[in-house]
Structure 1
Amino acid sequence: MATELKNIGDLLAIIRRRKWHLAIPASSVFLAALLLAFNLPKKYRSTATILIEAQEVPSDYVKANIRSYAEQRIQTINQQIMKTPRLLELIRRFNLYADLKNKVAVEDIVERMRMDIKLTSISADGADSHSGRSGQGTIAFSISYQGRNPEVVQQVASELSLLYMAENVKGRDKQSTVTYKFLQEEMLSIRDHLAASDKRIAAFKQRNLYALPEVSQVNLQAYEEVDREIRLLTDQLRSSKEKEENLQSQLANLQPELNSNEKESLRQLKLRLNELKSRFSDQYPDVKKIKMEIAELEGQLKLTGLRASGNQVDNPVYVTLQAQLAGTRSDVQSLKRQVAEMAAKRESYQRRIESAPQVEQGYKAILVERNNLQQKYDEMAKKAMEASVAHGMETEQLGERFTLLDPAGLPQKPISPNLPAILLVGIILGIGSGVGLAAVKESGDDTVRLAEELSALTGFTVLATIPQIVTSVDSARERKKKILIFFVLALVATAAVVVVHLFVMDLSVFWAKQNRVLGR
């Protein structure tokens, strides 16, 4: 029957009784774990560390064309390196995954290599070189590769580090070149637009030569001068017309000849006739009478050979006034022409002044466009100059670059399988399986081993106990068990020493340390 655990003695009795149920499963599981650990393929890892160095020339003097963050640039390069053609080249070059070539597809082999490559960023506190803000930034990164052959692993890791550095140089040079060419093309395009804008300005000035803003004040002054000149000429014209009328009035009251009574009478009659006609009709008696007198007098003049239209003018006053009238009439015509010309000029200036605001608005618009283009051109020329210097800096590798800080080394110890972890799990599982088996056996055992158990089971008092009788067969069986236990323990001890030697510390190093300690 199952023994109740009342004290530590009962537990020790169960351990002694079930020692084989404990030892055999535990040893078996541990040995299986040990065999598994030593039979799993070993994998080695080699790691190269690459430092991200800042540009040698201070950014205050030369600004780089590439402004991306280090982490972003690393990921971009990683995507280029991880492309299938590049990984296939490495696989063929180093004969990687030879055991998988005829078993799985090429894509699966490439994916396996991607899993065996590990990229790790290394960050530190500091100020960002682009934004100037403080915080954590990537200052380096490590690239590692794992595989079964340590020499090949080292070669692949070394090659990967070289690929990353070469891709960084290639990418930065390409981006710098593209940036420089783009700025050059933009600058030339803006220069062409500037030339076209200058042509538009020249054509606009030609069309609006006399209405441009810079001649507005001149037009206004000219308009005022012409207007003032017109007023002066108008006053002169008015005076000349008054003079002409006055001279005509004087001439009307003078005789061209010195002795001409008949002609004077004829003139008086004509004046009288004009006066009467202005008040009466031709049928008025006095009008008819004067007409008859005029006709009679004219007839007399014809008979005497004195024709009114062909007489010789010999009155000096009349001649003088007649000459003055002719001059005055000439002045009047000249003044009229001058006034007309000045009026045309004033009208021209007025049109210019009236159109000046609209012309000025259009002129300012094309000037603003031209100034904006000039500003863009200056900025683009400055950027192109900076890009040219930065491109030269990238060509000479003076910009931000990758430097191999720690080359890939030959791995000395495998990273997998993890023997200590496997053995620890084996020990835990072995102990657990042994304890479980012993517990099952103990709970299902109905054997009565103690007098107290027999008394409790039957209700009778036990009078005496007989000890176990050990035969020669029992002794032989016991010896075999002890020999088996010895070999198992020796095997476990040997395995433990091997594990310590391979994965914890070399035994020669261990003994050397112990000797130094003992020597003290």
Structure 2
Amino acid sequence: MDLRFYLSRFLRQVHWFLLVVVVFAAAGFVAARVLPTVYVASALLVVESEQIPDALAQSTVQTQASEQLQIIEQRILARDKLLDVADRLRIYEVVRPGAERPLTAGEIVADMRSRVDINTTFDRGGSGRAQATLVRVSFDSPEAQLAAAVTNELVTLILEEDVAMRTVVARQTLEFFQQEVERLEQAMAERSGAILAFKEKNLSALPDSLEFRREELTRVQARVAELEREEAAISEQIDRLARLRSSTTAAATGEATAGTTGGVTTRDIRRDDLVTQLGFVTDEKARLEARVLELTTSISQTPGNAVLLEALEREYSNIRSQYDQAVSNRAKAETGETIEALSKGQRITVIEQAVAPDAPTKPNRPKIMAAGIGAGMMAGLGLVAVLEFLRGAVRRPADLTSALGITPLATLPYVPTLAEKRRNRMLAVGGVVILILTIVLGIWLVHTQVMPLDLIMENLRARLPLWMSL
């Protein structure tokens, strides 16, 4: 590669190279000046684990740290929250010069969300087990104090949301189990009343007195059989006395005259006693037969009543088990609410408060200007290469051989005179000077005849993204 040749060709087109470099450098300088200063303030939070061991007392809020932080982030970035923060801190109170109108609520919310950054990281120990959850909250603003103020306000909202969410969950858990205890108490009272009413209604046919009634039935049946024998014996005696009286009608008249007083014989008295005794026996037997029927009916009803009573008692037992469990859960919920009320459970605490940054985070003006110069140099080299390629002139023997297919014996370069060199140099310098003067004159005319440069800058800022233009 003939470096001297390429260097000479580059030097011949160096004015175009310098022109492009100047233009790009000017653009980089303008961009570095137009882009507003942005300060970023950040605060560091940490999610602390429960301060009381779970073996002693456990919080009723079992939300994972990652899930809780996601919920809090969505609540913080809600429309009402962001509008409230923007209004209280007066972030958008002043209308930008050159802006056609104030920002709408939707634009404010979109801009706030683009400027707020909530980044969650999980610090892991050597064993790979999660050790701590860190949360970095940041906000960018053209004013350092405002960036710090908004960041600290967001931190305050995060802490308030954390406490509110955990206490609300703990309180709702306690209220739920309190309602469960009251509901089960009422259900137990209803089932107990139903069991009592059933027992009162079927007092004589309950399963707990079945054996006693069976024994009573056996005794009563034996007594009825005994009374039947007594009744048969008395009836037989009465019949015998009646037959005896019929067979001795004639003799009975004499005996009645000689051996009785008032016309009543001993046989008649005996017969009247037997009739009275028979009546007593008959009444007792009827009463006992009625008792037998009653006992038989109650005994036959007992299995059905036993099934119904067992179902009622089983339902009562189930409700009682649920009630005992609900009482135990209510006690745990009360303990959990106390833990959250005293902030002894999992909580978010502040490690570093946001402070006003000493230096802006962006833009990096030297880097932008250097990028403009670098881009200008690349573009200038590209322009020189394109110009040389498009001209297609013969500049060295190799070009002649390549174009005509002949090998020259010798080449005589064109040697410009001193006057031609001066003229070419003056033309190049004059072209650059004229270009620079034209640019300066154009800027001056725009500033004086069209619009001042400061207003043009404000209009450019108004058309930039919202987070860059404030």
Partner of 1:405: 351
Distance in 1 separating the partners of 2:130 and 2:258: 123
Whichever of the two has the greater Rg, that structure is 1
Q: 389, 396, 402: which is aligned to 1:450?
A: 396
Instruction: Indicate conservation of the 8 Å contact 1:50/1:406, yes or no.
Output: yes
- Residues 162/326 of structure 1: CA separation in 2 closer, same or farther (3 Å cut): same
Partner of 1:306: none
Q: 177, 180, 191: which is aligned to 2:185?
A: 191
- Residues 177/7 of structure 1: CA separation in 2 closer, same or farther (3 Å cut): same
Q: Deviations 1:193-230 (Å, cap 9, x if unpaired)?
A: 32232222222221111112211222222112211221
Distance in 2 separating the partners of 1:335 and 1:357: 34
- The answer to whether the aligner puts 1:111 opposite 2:56 as a matched pair is no
Deviation, structure 1 residue 442: 0.6
Distance in 1 separating the partners of 2:204 and 2:151: 79
Distance in 1 separating the partners of 2:399 and 2:77: 74
Residue identity in the other structure for 1:312: T
- The answer to whether the aligner puts 1:210 opposite 2:209 as a matched pair is no
- Residues 137/73 of structure 1: CA separation in 2 closer, same or farther (3 Å cut): farther
Partner of 2:176: 182
Partner of 2:362: 416
Residue identity in the other structure for 1:178: Q
Distance in 2 separating the partners of 1:455 and 1:74: 75
Q: 209, 221, 225: which is aligned to 2:219?
A: 225
SS of residue paired to 1:360: helix
Residue identity in the other structure for 2:362: S
Deviation, structure 1 residue 349: 0.8
Q: 74, 79, 99: which is aligned to 1:79?
A: 74
Distance in 2 separating the partners of 1:357 and 1:334: 36
Deviation, structure 1 residue 375: 2.0
Instruction: Indicate conservation of the 8 Å contact 1:257/1:315, yes or no.
Output: no
SS of residue paired to 2:203: coil
Q: 287, 292, 301: which is aligned to 1:346?
A: 292
- Residues 83/453 of structure 1: CA separation in 2 closer, same or farther (3 Å cut): closer
Partner of 1:36: 31
Deviation, structure 1 residue 478: 5.3
Distance in 2 separating the partners of 1:340 and 1:349: 14
- Residues 210/137 of structure 1: CA separation in 2 closer, same or farther (3 Å cut): farther
Instruction: Indicate conservation of the 8 Å contact 2:17/2:377, yes or no.
Output: yes
Instruction: Indicate conservation of the 8 Å contact 1:455/1:462, yes or no.
Output: no
Deviation, structure 1 residue 54: 1.8
- Residues 452/229 of structure 1: CA separation in 2 closer, same or farther (3 Å cut): closer
Identity over aligned pairs, percent:
20
- The answer to whether the aligner puts 1:324 opposite 2:233 as a matched pair is no
Deviation, structure 1 residue 7: 4.8
Instruction: Indicate conservation of the 8 Å contact 1:251/1:322, yes or no.
Output: no
- Residues 243/7 of structure 1: CA separation in 2 closer, same or farther (3 Å cut): farther
Instruction: Indicate conservation of the 8 Å contact 2:76/2:82, yes or no.
Output: yes
Q: Deviations 1:254-297 (Å, cap 9, x if unpaired)?
A: 4575895xx9xxxxxxxxxxxxxxxxxxxxxxxxxxxxxxxxxx
- Residues 254/115 of structure 1: CA separation in 2 closer, same or farther (3 Å cut): same
Distance in 1 separating the partners of 2:218 and 2:123: 79
Q: How many residues align?
A: 422
Deviation, structure 1 residue 60: 2.5
Q: Deviations 1:306-364 (Å, cap 9, x if unpaired)?
A: xxxxx625289x95544433333222222111111111001111111111122222222
Partner of 1:67: 62
Q: TM-score, normalised by structure 2?
A: 0.78
- Residues 216/421 of structure 1: CA separation in 2 closer, same or farther (3 Å cut): farther
Instruction: Indicate conservation of the 8 Å contact 1:198/1:370, yes or no.
Output: yes
Distance in 1 separating the partners of 2:194 and 2:63: 42
Distance in 1 separating the partners of 2:136 and 2:398: 71
SS of residue paired to 1:312: helix
SS of residue paired to 2:361: coil
CA RMSD of aligned residues (A): 3.5
Instruction: Indicate conservation of the 8 Å contact 2:181/2:323, yes or no.
Output: yes
Instruction: Indicate conservation of the 8 Å contact 1:70/1:138, yes or no.
Output: no
Instruction: Indicate conservation of the 8 Å contact 1:180/1:391, yes or no.
Output: yes
Deviation, structure 1 residue 395: 1.6
Q: TM-score, normalised by structure 1?
A: 0.71
Deviation, structure 1 residue 390: 1.8
Instruction: Indicate conservation of the 8 Å contact 1:451/1:465, yes or no.
Output: no
Gaps of 5+ in 2: 433-470
Distance in 1 separating the partners of 2:9 and 2:134: 61
Deviation, structure 1 residue 142: 2.1
- Residues 137/312 of structure 1: CA separation in 2 closer, same or farther (3 Å cut): farther
Gaps of 5+ in 1: 1-5, 127-133, 264-310, 485-520
Deviation, structure 1 residue 136: 6.1
Residue identity in the other structure for 2:290: A
- Name the stretch that deviates more: 458-467 or 430-439: 458-467
Q: 31, 56, 61: which is aligned to 2:51?
A: 56
- Name the stretch that deviates more: 58-67 or 45-54: 58-67
Matches within 5 A, 1:275-424: 312=257, 314=259, 319-419=265-365, 422=368
Q: 400, 404, 412: which is aligned to 1:465?
A: 412
SS of residue paired to 1:404: strand
Deviation, structure 1 residue 118: 1.4
Distance in 1 separating the partners of 2:253 and 2:160: 131
- Residues 217/469 of structure 1: CA separation in 2 closer, same or farther (3 Å cut): same
